[in-house]
A and B are shown apart, each in its own frame.
Chain A
Amino acid sequence: QVQLQESGPGLVKPSQTLSLTCAVSGDSIRSDDYYWTWLRQHPVRGLEWIGYIHGSGNTYYNPSLMSRVLVSADTADNRFSLKLISVTAADTAVYYCAREPKYRRTPPEAFGVWGLGTLVTVSS
């Protein structure tokens, strides 16, 4: 059974860098079959897709965040990470990691596996 678990600081100061890690068990992040994804949920603005890293190392980001975000992978420890620079209060949210299949032949489609989520508050 695949499990994802987010970890990282719950409080980040404005203008600093938000850094989170997602530990994956039950699957390999080197798999060609999946996009390993970060999403967030704002109290008011709702669910927002941030970006992914694929087993090939390819990444793709939401254009609204592209200038500030980096997703990377640590294949030795089977985890992937999110860095978001120059944060403001608008980046306060619950951050989730999730898995999305790259191919339709790998059900379920969409985000079938999620981490529990971690609240990150941006405040001085």
Chain B
Amino acid sequence: ETVMTQSPATLSVSPGERATLSCRASQSVSSDLAWYQQKPGLAPRLLIYGASTRATGIPARFSGSGSGTEFTLSISSLQSEDFAVYYCQQYNRWPRTFGQGTKVEIK
């Protein structure tokens, strides 16, 4: 299976600052990469698909980039509601696989 590795495990950021999260795939997944945000007690929420396309209703401060095996999620100016856990997921190969998550916490 395709192993997804996220870094860092935890990112401490001050409100208003930029956050950059990384995701690496153990083999190429082309651009078939999604990012999700999850808050405690809730289901994951799709933010980005196709590596760089924002899902409906997702603010422009969220942006994704990359292809092949290296991907990045950027949050340009962190708002209070952005502190959460973020997961990457590949949907190029079966079984679908997720990264272990990056927790974005308030510095």
Contact = CB atoms under 8 A, between A and B. Distances in A.
Interface of A: 46-49, 60, 62-64, 96, 100, 107-112, 114-117
Given A96-B43, A114-B43, A116-B43, A108 B98 contact: no
Q: Tell which of A96, A110, A114 has the most Cβ of chain B within 10 Å.
A: A110
A111 B87 CA distance: 12
A49 B36 CA distance: 14
Nearest to A111: B46
B66 interface: no
Contacts of B82: none
Nearest to A51: B95
Given A46-B98, A116-B43, A108 B89 contact: no
B36 to A, nearest CB: 8
Main secondary structure of the interface of A (DSSP, over half): loop
Contact of A117 (B34, B43, B50): B43
B49 A110 contact: yes
Contacts of A60: 94
B91 A100 contact: yes
Contact of A108 (B1, B42, B55): B55
A64 to B, nearest CB: 8
A107 B58 CA distance: 14
Highest count of chain B CB atoms <10 Å: which of A49, A62, A100, A116: A49
Contacts of B94: 60
Interface string B55-93: 110000000000000000000000000000001010100
A110 B55 CA distance: 10
B28 interface: no
Contact of A47 (B45, B91, B98): B98
Q: Closest 3 A-B residue pairs measured CB to CB?
A: A110-B34, A114-B43, A47-B98
A49 B32 CA distance: 16
B96 interface: yes
Contacts of A96: 43
Nearest to B48: A110
A96 to B, nearest CB: 6
